Structure 1
Amino acid sequence: MIFVLNKNKQPLSLCHSAVARKLLKSGKAVIHKKYPFTIRLKELKTSENKAEFRLKIDYGSRHTGLAILNGSKVIGLAQIHHKTSIKSNMDSRRAMRRTRRNRTTRYRKPRFNNRKRKERWLSPSLQSRVDNIQNWVNRLQKLCPLTHISYENVKFDTQLMQNPEVSGVEYQQGELQGYEVREYLLEKWNRKCAYCGAENVPLEIEHIIPKARHGTSRVSNLTLACRTCNEAKGTMTAEEFGYSDIQKQARIPLKDAALVTATRWKVYNVLEKTGLEVECGTGARTKMNRIRLNLPKDHHFDAICIGASTPNEITFKTNQVLHIKAKGRGSHCRTNLDKYGFPRGYLARQKSFFGFQTGDIVKAIIPKGKYKGTHFGAVACRKKGSFVIKNKHGKLIAETSYKNCKMLSKADGYEYTIEPMEVDGIPLTLKL
């Protein structure tokens, strides 16, 4: 199904891809957008949209599923891949900044007047997820005459996820009630090294999943080890070190659950501002609907099953899923640093070169040379005009002059791939 706009860029009801091809071939429409594919009619059409289009959103910490339904017809599926590198990038910049301040170079006075945070402030890693959802809801409103939104507003009980038997006063006391961390670990691991079993030696607190591998300092991820085992283990997990039984005791990290719980109402407030009717669903209802409709577990399929508005039967009018990966619009830092924080190269102060900028999707027709042929991909621009064309996996496929490149889609901070929809590992084919 293809999005359709009228001459004044107002959204109309979606049409089949065959109809879109006829309109484009006859010259009655032009391509308005490549991702998601949208056409714009050349003649003014102002007919009212009587159909109801419902956008369903399955919010997750790493992926968010989107589905557009027209009654019982599924006419669009997409999945947003959120950025997960924001915190590590900020930590790296902070470490570089602190080392510069501590060197015997120009002294930079601490600044505290600009540290005040706004009310209901969210950290950048959380805010980016909210912004991604807000951005795509606003985009889809401009492409499709949406009338309703369904949103899975879930709250995770993190203590129950850790211990299914927890109840009553245990919620307040926790597993460390009456203990210090070291004393608790000594009791739990029988006052000996968890790996070699050494006793009567100095024992160190050790992370089962190392902090370098995104392990947390929760007590369920801590154990005791002698100096020899701790140094030999290094940045390996306990399972990689050969102790899978110890690895099983490291419970699943709750970072993803905490992230969704912290931002769920922020997302709801963003959806309410669209002016559309917002329906909230629960995780239990989503699971019940998914089992009833016999759909696999995936974010875009979960989105179909959100809320009481889910129909008893569904018909797929699409067999593709648009994967939207948040990439950002480049770095504000125009200096490359080495591992010590010293400059090792400088980037150009401009982002646009010869009408292109890094991330644009282009078609390169190369007449001769090593890369002779036609190539499609994302462009990496250079100041001198020699561009690099890369595929969706970031692998170089061509290198050519800007004169051989033709713009297909401008960079907008996202990377797009279209994949066939699969059910039980089998691509879904439609009989339309």
Structure 2
Amino acid sequence: MQLEAHHIVPKNQGGKDTIKNLITLCQQKVHQGKITLNAEGVSGFNDQIAQRTMQGKTYLYQALSQIAPLFKVLGYQTDRSRKSLSLPKEHDVDALCIATLNNQTNQLIDYHRENFYTIKFRAKQTRRRYHDLPRKGKGRVLYQVNIQSGGFRKGDIVRVKNKWISLLNSIYSNARLAFARIKSEPGSAKPEDCQLLLRCRTVIWNYSL
């Protein structure tokens, strides 16, 4: 009896040559239709995603190299540099190690957090249009009823009752402004009790210690 390795997912359908997509079967019985494959193999879909990712990285490298000299650093190099300097595992430490790893002058930069900021993106609006489940007598209900209230929009920084400074997280259906819940501070307020300090920004910089 002759045994041969067959692809569970054919190569012309994106199947790979990995061990997870190969099976050993009798050559004659497979081709004579006496055996039907019910196994699930590994398709090339993930490989296609990886290919597109690599294409994006190549484009990114080319675009960045037009702005400034570009050096690529591997993860193990960053890890080794960080451990040699006895520094903690933090994002800013990794950035410091990456920036100084290929420094031709071998100049070391002292690690500190005197000017340390966290940067995050905050969307001005949500793409979600409706609540997941319909409500009795109302059908599909809008997820965001009020885009603004009293001139205030999601993401604005306001002074509440001339005492607290808060970030506007959302607007309730009754038009009240909702803030992050902080002990001893109001969780919501009427628009007339608030004063606008800064309009919403999509990129938020927070000074951290």
Q: Distance in 2 between matches of 1:282 and 1:408?
A: 42
1:313 partnered with 2:104: no
Give the alignment's Cα RMSD to 1 decimal: 4.3
The residue aligned with 2:23 is: 179
Q: Deviations for 1:200-227, whole angstroms, at most 9, x for unmatched residues? A: xxxxx9xxxxxxxxxxx97xxxxxxxxx
1:352-391 equivalences in 2 (<5 Å): 352-365=148-161, 373-382=163-172, 385-391=175-181
Name which one, 1 or 2, has greater alpha-carbon Rg: 2
Contact 2:176 2:188 in 1 (8 A): yes
1:322 partnered with 2:134: no
Equivalent AA in structure 2 for residue 174 of structure 1: T
Q: Deviations for 1:165-187, whole angstroms, at most 9, x for unmatched residues? A: xxxxxxx843236417xx9xxxx
The residue aligned with 1:351 is: 147
Number of aligned residue pairs: give it. 168
Equivalent AA in structure 1 for residue 151 of structure 2: G
Contact 1:365 1:375 in 2 (8 A): no
Contact 1:376 1:391 in 2 (8 A): no
Give the direction of change, closer, same or farther, for the CA distance of 1:278–1:403 in structure 2 (3 Å limit): farther
Q: Distance in 2 between matches of 1:259 and 1:410?
A: 38
1:289 partnered with 2:81: yes
SS in 2 for 1:179: strand
Q: Distance in 2 between matches of 1:407 and 1:258?
A: 48
Equivalent AA in structure 1 for residue 20 of structure 2: L
Q: Distance in 2 between matches of 1:177 and 1:386?
A: 57
TM-score (norm 1): 0.31
Contact 1:295 1:301 in 2 (8 A): yes
1:404 partnered with 2:197: no
Contact 1:362 1:379 in 2 (8 A): no
SS in 2 for 1:281: coil
SS in 2 for 1:403: helix
Equivalent AA in structure 2 for residue 282 of structure 1: V
Structure with more contact order per residue of length (Cα contacts < 8 Å, sep ≥ 6): 1
Give the direction of change, closer, same or farther, for the CA distance of 1:264–1:343 in structure 2 (3 Å limit): farther
Equivalent AA in structure 2 for residue 271 of structure 1: L
Contact 2:149 2:171 in 1 (8 A): yes
SS in 2 for 1:304: helix
SS in 1 for 2:58: helix
- Which of 76, 90, 94 does residue 302 from structure 1 map onto? 94
SS in 1 for 2:125: coil
Contact 1:361 1:410 in 2 (8 A): yes
Equivalent AA in structure 2 for residue 381 of structure 1: I
Equivalent AA in structure 2 for residue 390 of structure 1: A
Give the direction of change, closer, same or farther, for the CA distance of 1:339–1:309 in structure 2 (3 Å limit): farther
Deviation at 1:357?
A: 0.7
Gaps of 5+ in 1: 1-171, 184-204, 206-216, 219-256, 367-372, 421-432
Q: Deviations for 1:85-104, whole angstroms, at most 9, x for unmatched residues? A: xxxxxxxxxxxxxxxxxxxx
Contact 2:146 2:175 in 1 (8 A): no
SS in 2 for 1:406: strand
SS in 1 for 2:82: helix
Identity %: 16
Equivalent AA in structure 2 for residue 298 of structure 1: E
Q: Distance in 1 between matches of 2:176 and 2:146?
A: 16
